[in-house]
Structure 1
């Protein structure tokens, strides 16, 4: 459910976050006396040095907007935007086929071919024991038989779970960054101890995320290996009626179980796409550091900074650093975890691989952040 919640609602969460940020920005600019600014920090951008008012309200608005977008997504009036014809209707087998009444269940199973033939996409919410279930394998093959032009999408639920964990870590970074500004830690302890060190501390939970991602990507690689070695006799079926139905249908559609196994091993495995984090999820995650950067940019603008200073902060910090670089680092995180997804066996070498991936990702993020900070603060051209 969590995976479906994120995969179907991330667009609305992104839209709600954008609306919340625009409204908060308008309040900041149009009615500054309405904003309580309990903190100040010393800004230093392109020669502009002054104490600027700092508030947490854009961060608060970002959280409220994102959560509101997710919660309101199931109730969004799709039909008003013509989405009723966009293919958003779905057939979920476990929900649409009766699981208690044997007569209704048999009727639903015999009618599933019609749904498979009409569906433009078969979305598989994949978990590691997927191939051990005969019915799941049968649905994949039946969909391709009934709908040769349809799209098969493999959607491992661990991707969505990891997105939630990465979001928590990024919010930790934003809070640490905002806290360093609010309490002026850079003035007291220097740039490294006052800012870089808190960010590095906030990234520590990413090590656990890396370890979990390597495990699940290993399971993904095992999926393709199991598909290439698939044998029908290795799949299990809890209901005798289901097993009889599946074997009968396979004999009718493919001629023999050997032909069906060849289809799974040679054809089906080629049609399942590679699995990684989508650009949409990366963009949604990038809104978290963008919120913190917008808070600082708005503080600089309200502090009386010239236009070129505000533009340098907006382009270099908000867009260049927290949008582009964060999305690059997120792709790097998932691709490295996929590349080094060795068999998950307890041991020192396995943990060292996790540590190596974590260090590469964390260092890339921190080095890019430091270089970007120095570039846009010291040169207007550096923001580009």
Structure 2
């Protein structure tokens, strides 16, 4: 093929305004040279042929790093890039577990927190719960005394040591845990100082993706605007053998802050309420209003973050449903003087057309298959029951404090002749209440709050409008919370006595069991029958009017 011959199906590239780029930019193959335009065109064809073969340009160039290296230093590689080459930390790899695709033009802190959430939240949750449980056992066995600021009258009434221990362990494991698995991250696996190695790695980008088991996209609005990010997606889709389902994982970078703000808000409320006075009358006149105020303060930020998350998802869906590769940007397009530049865009276009037949076929696959998988993931894998329970675990850790305090008082302090074994029901009631609220009532509240946040996700005009919407969502959620409290007290009434005067005789244990069963049943019904927000049924109907997407949708012919 002659250097200036037009490739069939290649579009005329529209003029693109110079882009203001920062120090971290996907420079690709674009490099200022003294070659003529014909020579540059010939080089582009040759490079495209090499990349399209999806083979490594030299032995050992396909490299990976352990996942924890991407998170070290509080995600330093995301936040500040690399001031020196970090490639020596990588190693040659025959298989790569995950290829992390991201844009350097997005908000870096959001990417870092989302990566932490993806990799470390499970270990942090397990470690925190185990540590809190062990400390509860230690207190119950009186191996370590519970410390209070004062003993007479006791303050705090239920020292929050199990809760604080859980929070400390959660933070430690969330930030310091070293997850396993081998990943590809450009700044860690491509030498940024040796030009020969960098070019060899870029020529081998197809080999990187072909050896990757999954493509993880840390999505923000700038991702779909970057040519190289889109090219990584095209390469990964083409690299899968026929009929093999490509493991594509799309995570909006707003996801991490959402699932961090919810337990943080709950922990703030629990820690503050644990230092409330212990007088019953004060509880009615002071504690309940105070808890309401703390709830507003603790969860106001969470509501705003959830609404922002749904807006970002809507933007992602709209971006993919209208995807056009000519709208993407690359380094060479940001240069005012294109003479002597090897054009990344032409190379990428040639590769995509050789793989998919035409640019239109690739765009259609993004608008259908990729968008379909996105909707499935964001509808079924976000705000699930498991994730909601994980955000509620600080309440379970706080329950361990109440359980230990009640057990110590009933067994070691109260006279042994008082109530015989009736204390067992009082102690068990504390635990049953904690289970009912942690695994039943609070997940339902979070589910309702996310539903309303989704419906009211649109940004209002002015700050006052935003504040009013957030307050409205909190008021609705707080009203349901108060309703659950009233229902719990109603379950303690005589109508739920399984034996004569049972609630009085067994320290309200029967009523707590009824409330717990009701809350767990309600959570089961809501999450099984309603579940997370059906994004396909809301956003897609408005943004997606040309292509038909359904669970049975077939790939576009010719792809």
State the TM-score, normalizing by the size of structure 2. Answer: 0.59
Tell me which residue corresponds to 2:145: 34
Distance 1:138 1:190 in 2: 61
The alpha-carbon distance between structure 1 residues 278 and 69, as it changes in their structure 2 partners (threshold 3 A), is: farther
How far does residue 343 in structure 1 lie from its aligned partner after superposition? 4.8
Q: How does 1:307-322 map to 2 (within 5 A)?
A: 307-315=424-432, 317-322=433-438
Give the superposition deviation at 1:328: 2.2
Match of 1:56 among 144, 147, 160: 160
- 1:325, CA displacement in angstroms? 1.8
1:1-384 matches, cutoff 5 A: 1-31=112-142, 34-38=145-149, 54-74=158-178, 88-147=181-240, 148-180=244-276, 183-185=277-279, 187-191=280-284, 193-205=285-297, 206-239=299-332, 241-272=343-374, 273-275=376-378, 276-304=382-410, 306-315=423-432, 317-343=433-459, 345-346=461-462, 349-372=465-488, 375=491, 378-383=508-513, 384=516
In structure 1, distance between residues paired with 2:213 and 2:246? 5
8 A contact 2:254–2:308 mirrored in 1: no
Q: Is the 8 A contact 1:38 1:54 kept in 2?
A: no
Match of 2:4? none
Q: Is the 8 A contact 2:140 2:407 kept in 1?
A: no
3-state SS of 1:203 partner: helix
Q: Deviations over 1:261-302 (max 9, x none)?
A: 222222221122342335554333212121222211221111
For residue 303 of structure 1, give the secondary structure of its aligned residue in structure 2: helix
In 2: Cα distance, 1:150 partner to 1:41 partner? 65
Structure 1 CA distance, aligned partners of 2:191 and 2:267? Answer: 42
- Give the length in aligned residue pairs: 361
337-346 or 261-270: bigger deviation: 337-346
After the TM superposition, which parts of structure 1 deviate over 6 Å for at least 4 consecutive aligned residues? 50-53
How far apart in 1 are the matches of 2:358 and 2:351? Answer: 10
More displaced, 360-369 or 243-252? 360-369
| Gaps in structure 2 of 5+ consecutive residues | 1-111, 333-341, 411-421, 493-506, 517-559
- Tell me how large the CA RMSD over aligned residues is: 2.9
For residues 219 and 6 of structure 1, do their structure 2 counterparts lie closer, same or farther at Cα, with a shift above 3 Å needed? Answer: closer
Note closer, same or farther for the CA distance 1:241–1:258 as it changes in structure 2 (3 Å cut). Answer: same
Over 3 Å counting, the alpha-carbon distance change for 1:368 and 1:130 in structure 2 is farther
Q: 1:315-363 CA deviation, whole Å, 9 max, x = no partner?
A: 1x21001332222222333333223222564365554433322222232
